[in-house]
């Protein structure tokens, strides 16, 4: 028992929500409608979660604007006007701020407050939640809306603290303008964040060195203004589009092919890939319906992209370095870029292969690899996140008998449907491990989870019940299902953050449910229709 377990709480709520990003805001809105009292804690000085912190140059969503937005309010989706095919970070943050004001959400959100612990008290059947600002509150229910890509990670490189220049992480970018003009800049990391930031930094910096460990597949975004006609056509049937999106694998309306890549001639396959490349975006990986399950089919798509890289990048040695060969296309998150490969034709940009010659240390003046020393004024870490479980791991969460979540999850996360974990009653997760989350349009996943949780709370109240917990047996079966579905795909062949592979010591388990959003949504509905099958209600 800790000191906070004995202290007298300052306040009591029906529900505490951790995080005021897309998930926390919509959760609060639904809780209000149920007449429940709620407090949302948010570490940032503003709402927006991941989109509040990710202010790096070029930050933009790779799901199209018309789809990357809430569907819960017809008025909101009709009235909001997006300006580009893919929304930039500032526009998304404006949208989130608009939502917070429009639905009067701010009065229940406490900013600049990080939840440090959440302990379940068996005697009162309440969660005791403590923050870094000294709050100690109790609530019957606790909802973790803390995000799947919110725990930014800087690798433990020796000498990190000795660097005399400026350091930045893409996932924790300063609010003030960063100007790289005249500087020698190093970027470590070539995932979605690095691939977006690099072309922008290259335009400003006197010299840019990109430290690449794994080359990534990237498809051009062909971003541009969103025409009024296109926007109005979409809005004419917004509800229909949303409903159709919810039946798909990714919760996104792509053109999902019904054919395998080996079912067509070489010429036809090439035409299909060319058309997809010309349209741009992640739609490319749905050019055939077997790219995620058939290596031979995947090889065709991968080789097509490598050919494009060789076409774009003038120096054949640099093109070879930028060409991914160690994982099937799509098994690390596909990137969507604007002028990424083209940037390596600029005379002020150099590419360094840190797989061949790893980074040994950060020095006071730059980065030292095993074969060279690079003098830098600024270093940008585009090194990603402790994904899916990281934000939960930073909170001391304890359930029945004081069991710590991090101890329960030593060998990998165990959840039932990614919504609850056995032994932690009345604790919900939004887009938790074992749910489709990061493999989908995350707003579609968020809305589905929030609706499920809100409906569950209403169900409990109508029946005079106070407690819901996941059944351990149902959880074991779900974890087995999550693994089995992943094993039928090519995803486990990549050392990706989906597998926890980017964090030294993190268990290698496939974190999201890859069976598709549509199927997952059906399963969640079936569970409810069968009286919350696999949950214990008391
Ligand atoms: O992070 P990442 P991210 N030395 O983990 C490298 C979403 N997102 O922030 O691959 C050298 O993908 C690491 O190398 P390797 C999206 O879901 C979306 O870019 O591990 N290099 C990799 O290249 C995305 O997938 C959008 O070998 C090191 C990079 O750092 C997710 O967020 C935009 C290293 C990290 O890539 C995460 O993307 C941005 C080391 N010690 C993000 N440690 C859009 O919607 C790590 N790396 C467009």
Pair 242, 232: CB distance under 8 Å: no
Residues 451 and 470 in one domain: yes
Atom of ligand 1 nearest to the CA of 59: 33
Q: Is 191 in the pocket of ligand 1 (CB under 6 A)?
A: yes
Residues 6+ apart with CB under 8 A from 475: 414, 415, 416, 421, 422, 534
The CA distance from 126 to 138, in Å, is 6
The CA distance from 2 to 394, in Å, is 17
> How many Cα atoms sit within 13 Å of 147 on the Cβ side?
23
Is residue 248 a part of any domain in this protein?
A: yes
Q: Is 497 in the pocket of ligand 1 (CB under 6 A)?
A: yes
Output the pLDDT for position 1.
Answer: 64
Is residue 6 a part of any domain in this protein?
A: no
Q: Is 147 in the pocket of ligand 1 (CB under 6 A)?
A: no
Tell me which residue has its CA closest to atom 37 in ligand 1. Answer: 384
Burial of 536 (0-12, 13-18, 19+ CB in 10 A): middle
The CA distance from 477 to 465, in Å, is 26
The CA distance from 470 to 479, in Å, is 12
Q: Is 359 in the pocket of ligand 1 (CB under 6 A)?
A: yes
Average pLDDT for 291-302: 98
Sequence-ordered strand ranges (E) for 341-426: 349-353, 359-363, 366-369, 373-375, 378-381, 396-398
Tell me which residue has its CA closest to atom 7 in ligand 1. Answer: 192
Binned at pLDDT 50, 70 and 90, residue 7 comes out as confident
Last residue of a domain, one of 381, 404, 423: 381
Mutate to test the pocket of ligand 1, among 49, 68, 154, 193 (most ligand atoms within 8 A of CB): 193
Pair 517, 248: CB distance under 8 Å: yes
Last residue of a domain, one of 335, 366, 381: 381
Tell me which residue has its CA closest to atom 35 in ligand 1. Answer: 383
Residues 191 and 147 in one domain: no
Q: Is the pLDDT of residue 433 over 90?
A: yes
Mutate to test the pocket of ligand 1, among 22, 85, 191, 358 (most ligand atoms within 8 A of CB): 191
CA of 382 to the centre of ligand 1 (A): 6
The CA distance from 199 to 182, in Å, is 16
CA of 169 to the centre of ligand 1 (A): 11
Last residue of a domain, one of 354, 381, 408: 381
Contacts 24+ apart (CB under 8 A), 351-358: 351/209, 351/210, 351/212, 351/318, 351/321, 351/322, 352/209, 352/210, 352/211, 352/212, 353/212, 353/321, 354/188, 354/211, 354/212, 354/213, 355/212, 355/213, 355/214
Residues 324 and 400 in one domain: no
Q: Is the pLDDT of residue 425 over 90?
A: yes
The CA distance from 70 to 357, in Å, is 45
Write down the residue that tokens 């974990």 correspond to.
421
Residues 335 and 187 in one domain: yes
CA of 294 to the centre of ligand 1 (A): 25
Q: Is the pLDDT of residue 5 over 90?
A: no
Binned at pLDDT 50, 70 and 90, residue 368 comes out as very high
Output the pLDDT for position 333.
Answer: 97
Is residue 4 a part of any domain in this protein?
A: no
Residues 118 and 177 in one domain: no
The CA distance from 511 to 523, in Å, is 18
Residues 308 and 340 in one domain: yes
Residues 321 and 445 in one domain: no
pLDDT in tens, 382-409: 999 999 999 999 999 999 999 999 999 9
Tell me which residue has its CA closest to atom 24 in ligand 1. Answer: 192
Residues 346 and 405 in one domain: no
pLDDT in tens, 307-339: 999 999 999 999 999 999 999 999 999 999 999
Output the pLDDT for position 3.
Answer: 64
Residues 368 and 251 in one domain: yes
Reported as type and span, the H/E element at residue 429 is strand 427-429
Reading the block at residue 355, the tokens are 């797989």
Question: In CATH, what number is assigned to the domain containing residue 413?
Answer: 3.50.50.60
pLDDT in tens, 236-254: 999 999 999 999 999 999 9
The CA distance from 79 to 207, in Å, is 44
Q: Is 61 in the pocket of ligand 1 (CB under 6 A)?
A: yes
Output the pLDDT for position 453.
Answer: 98
Mutate to test the pocket of ligand 1, among 213, 322, 370, 441 (most ligand atoms within 8 A of CB): 213
Reading the block at residue 85, the tokens are 């095919």
Please tell me the total count of domains within the chain: 2
pLDDT in tens, 87-109: 999 999 999 999 999 999 999 99
Residues 360 and 443 in one domain: no
Average pLDDT for 451-472: 98
Q: Is 518 in the pocket of ligand 1 (CB under 6 A)?
A: no
Atom of ligand 1 nearest to the CA of 501: 20
Q: What is the mean pLDDT of the chain?
A: 97
Is residue 2 a part of any domain in this protein?
A: no
Q: Is 213 in the pocket of ligand 1 (CB under 6 A)?
A: yes
Binned at pLDDT 50, 70 and 90, residue 6 comes out as confident
CA of 188 to the centre of ligand 1 (A): 9
Pair 250, 242: CB distance under 8 Å: no
Reported as type and span, the H/E element at residue 120 is strand 115-121
The CA distance from 430 to 90, in Å, is 24
Is residue 396 a part of any domain in this protein?
A: yes
Residues 372 and 408 in one domain: no
The CA distance from 290 to 450, in Å, is 32
pLDDT in tens, 112-124: 999 999 999 999 9
User: Residue 232 belongs to what domain range?
Assistant: 160-381
Atom of ligand 1 nearest to the CA of 214: 27
Tell me which residue has its CA closest to atom 15 in ligand 1. Answer: 214
The CA distance from 307 to 316, in Å, is 11
Residues 206 and 352 in one domain: yes
The DSSP symbol for 260 reads -
Average pLDDT for 286-302: 98
Q: Is 194 in the pocket of ligand 1 (CB under 6 A)?
A: yes
Backbone angles phi, psi at 152, to 5 degrees: -60, 145
The CA distance from 527 to 511, in Å, is 21
Is residue 456 a part of any domain in this protein?
A: yes
Residues 6+ apart with CB under 8 A from 160: 154, 167, 362
Mutate to test the pocket of ligand 1, among 60, 157, 192, 379 (most ligand atoms within 8 A of CB): 192
Is residue 506 a part of any domain in this protein?
A: yes
CA of 383 to the centre of ligand 1 (A): 5
Q: Is the pLDDT of residue 57 over 90?
A: yes
Is residue 5 a part of any domain in this protein?
A: no
The distance in angstroms from the start CA to the end CA of the chain is: 25
């Amino acid at each position: 028992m800790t000191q906070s377990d004995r202290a007298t709480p300052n306040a009591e709520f029906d529900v505490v929500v951790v995080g005021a990003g897309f998930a926390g805001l919509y959760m609060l809105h639904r809780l209000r409608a149920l007449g429940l009292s709620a407090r949302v804690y948010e570490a940032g000085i503003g709402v927006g979660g991941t989109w509040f912190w990710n202010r790096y140059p070029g930050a933009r969503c790779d799901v199209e604007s018309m789809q990357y937005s809430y569907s819960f309010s017809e008025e909101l989706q009709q009235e909001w006007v997006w300006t580009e095919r893919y929304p930039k970070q500032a526009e998304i943050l404006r949208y989130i701020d608009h939502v917070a004001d429009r639905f009067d959400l701010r009065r229940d959100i406490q900013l600049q407050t990080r939840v440090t612990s959440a302990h379940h008290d068996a005697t009162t059947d309440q969660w005791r939640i403590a923050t870094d600002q000294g709050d100690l509150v109790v609530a019957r229910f606790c909802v973790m809306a803390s995000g799947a890509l919110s725990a930014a990670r800087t690798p433990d490189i020796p000498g990190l603290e000795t660097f005399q220049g400026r350091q930045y992480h893409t996932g924790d970018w300063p609010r003030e303008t960063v100007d790289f003009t005249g500087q020698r800049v190093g970027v470590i990391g070539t995932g979605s964040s690095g691939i977006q930031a690099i072309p922008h930094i290259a335009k400003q910096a006197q010299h840019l060195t990109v430290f690449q460990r794994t080359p990534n597949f990237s498809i051009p975004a062909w971003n541009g203004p969103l025409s009024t006609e296109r926007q109005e056509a979409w809005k004419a049937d917004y509800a229909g589009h949303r409903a159709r999106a919810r039946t798909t694998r990714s919760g996104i309306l792509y053109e999902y092919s019904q054919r395998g890549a080996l079912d067509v001639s070489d010429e036809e396959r090439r035409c299909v890939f060319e058309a997809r490349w010309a349209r741009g975006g992640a739609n490319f990986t749905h050019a055939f319906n077997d790219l995620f399950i058939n290596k031979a089919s995947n090889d065709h798509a991968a080789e097509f992209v490598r050919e494009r890289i060789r076409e774009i990048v003038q120096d054949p040695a640099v093109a070879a370095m930028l060409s991914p060969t160690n994982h099937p296309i799509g098994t690390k998150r596909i990137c969507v870029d604007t002028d990424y490969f083209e940037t390596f034709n600029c005379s002020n940009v150099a590419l360094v292969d840190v797989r061949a010659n790893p980074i040994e240390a950060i020095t006071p003046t730059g980065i030292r690899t095993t074969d060279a020393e690079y003098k830098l004024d600024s270093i940008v870490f585009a090194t990603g996140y402790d994904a899916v479980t990281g934000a939960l791991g930073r909170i001391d969460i304890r359930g029945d008998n004081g069991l710590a979540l991090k101890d329960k999850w030593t060998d990998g996360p165990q959840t039932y449907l990614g919504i609850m974990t056995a032994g932690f009653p009345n604790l919900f997760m939004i887009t938790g491990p074992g749910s489709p989350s990061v493999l989908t349009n995350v707003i579609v996943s968020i809305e589905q989870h929030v609706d499920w949780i809100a409906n569950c709370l209403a169900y409990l109240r109508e029946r005079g019940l106070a407690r819901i917990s996941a059944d351990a047996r149902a959880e074991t079966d779900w974890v087995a299902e999550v693994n089995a579905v992943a094993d039928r795909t090519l995803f486990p062949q990549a050392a990706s953050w989906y597998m926890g592979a980017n964090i030294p010591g993190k268990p290698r388990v496939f974190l999201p449910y890859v069976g598709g959003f549509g199927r997952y949504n059906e399963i969640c509905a079936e569970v409810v229709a069968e009286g919350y099958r696999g949950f214990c209600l008391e």
